[in-house]
Chains A and B, each alone.
Chain A
Amino acid sequence: MEKADFLSALAVPMENASPRELAGVQTELGDHIADHAADLEAAGWSAADAEAAAVAAMGDPAEVGEALNREFSRFWGAVSRWAAIALILLIVAAFLPVCYSCVDAAQSLAWRINPQKPMARYFKGLDTTPLDIRCDGADGDVVRFAMEAMTTETLPDENGVETEWDAAVIGVCIYDKNPFRCIANYLDEQPVFLTDAPYTNGAERSGGGMSTAWTAIRIYRVPVHRGQKTVTAQYDLFGTYFTVEVPLYWGDGHEA
């Protein structure tokens, strides 16, 4: 019998082995036959006789194949196959959420390192003052008062009289201490600014803002009295409460 015939006959009963495992076995036994034949040739045998003798010394290929087949466990083979499929599916399923989480976490980190940068577009044309007042919000959130500017607009009051309205534009950045966790954005009401100055049209939060589930920029337009030194911000969410006095930096002779 030739080496190739031996290896083919060996493969017949090996149904438990995968193609890769079978190829490995055939290579190993093929190398064994080649080594034995090489030793016989070195002892003076002809190539053909050496190979035939080396093959014969291996024994019955069907018996060897059956014995080897018993050592490839069908149970663990099936577990491997299904586990590999499950792992691939899990990686595919987790890929997008993990990517989005990493992207959002990166943005959360960027905004907490430099919160003024994403806010700048809401303060165009205004003389801004950076702030850095940080307070603990609910469930690990950080509420950070990061930028302000004072504005004066001339608008008609309820009687139609043109009146100057002063307002503090305050930028607040909210993020969780853990960049992979969401902020408490659901109710979208915190913090609030307390003022007894009259409002112009529109609600307090007319300044705009942007948010993801992980971070938020909120721009507040708070009416104030001219020369007012501070404005009170209040936060009250599920038992987490704080008030903070945000200083107002007037320029252009409007200081108190």
Chain B
Amino acid sequence: MNRFIRQLLPFATLTLIVAALSALEPDTFLTAENFLNVLSRSSVNGIIAMGMTAVIISGGIDLSVGSMMAMAGMVGAGFMLKVGGTEPGAASMLLGTIVGIGAGALCGLLNGTLITKLKLPPFIVTLGTMSAFRGTSYIINSSKMYDVPSYTLLGQSNLFGMPVSVWILAIVVLIGFLILKYTPLGRYTYAIGSNREAAFHAGVNVDRNLIAIYSLTGMFVGLAAMIQTSRTISAQPTAGISLELDIIAAVVIGGASLSGGRGTVIGTIVGTLLISFLRNGCTLLGISTNIQLVVIGAIIIGAVALDQVARSKAEAG
């Protein structure tokens, strides 16, 4: 029962925030347009957060996702321009998108391999690759960005009345949910995060599963990078600076434990939306971005504190 209430907590907070903003700003906030706008802005973070959820459940962390996003975007956009010239056609754009996603997956593979084969803590490895990926994204085009003015499909177009990026987010959430709940990979992720040694003794191939999780995260980052590139019709080496902190915050607000073994896809998506709506609401209410930062900080601490209280009550009872 208590466990159920605990999982409901982020959802209740989200509902509360949306209800409060709807009451305060019915004309600007409570519109389909604004909601789709918020969802579309959440897509980049939400997609990356799906990977981060698995990483955090496994007891790890990935600090490199922000830099990785910049690098994957630069690789993807750079490839488009290289193959298709300054006005790339559909085929080059498709190819560039795939290359960008692949670049992300390779970055994730590198993280996973370093973590398992060199037996290094994920914090250290991804702290290192965070710096290295950022550097690489500057090196790729000598600190300049790539303009891809015709690359609008992923970030700026609609399909059946909803932004394409929101459709993609929905698909990724569904994939994340299915993986964590219904596949051995997801199950082993929980087991590794809860007790790595016990998982190993129960026949779980710990290294292979961790590599898969980090690679999958990289792939999601690559996908998010291409959406971001399309949103701004350019790939920027400065993209995603300190993005990793927003992502980790969303996952934690969603009820995941940084010590591993706990977390859900639904919680994470609620956490992501909670931050997005909060930002959106503050903007509509004319609250400055500086104050937004303070509010989001308080929400992170408050969410985890409430969760702790609920947990210790559950244990006592």
Check if A and B associate: no
By a beta-carbon cutoff of 8 Å, the part of chain B in contact with chain A is none
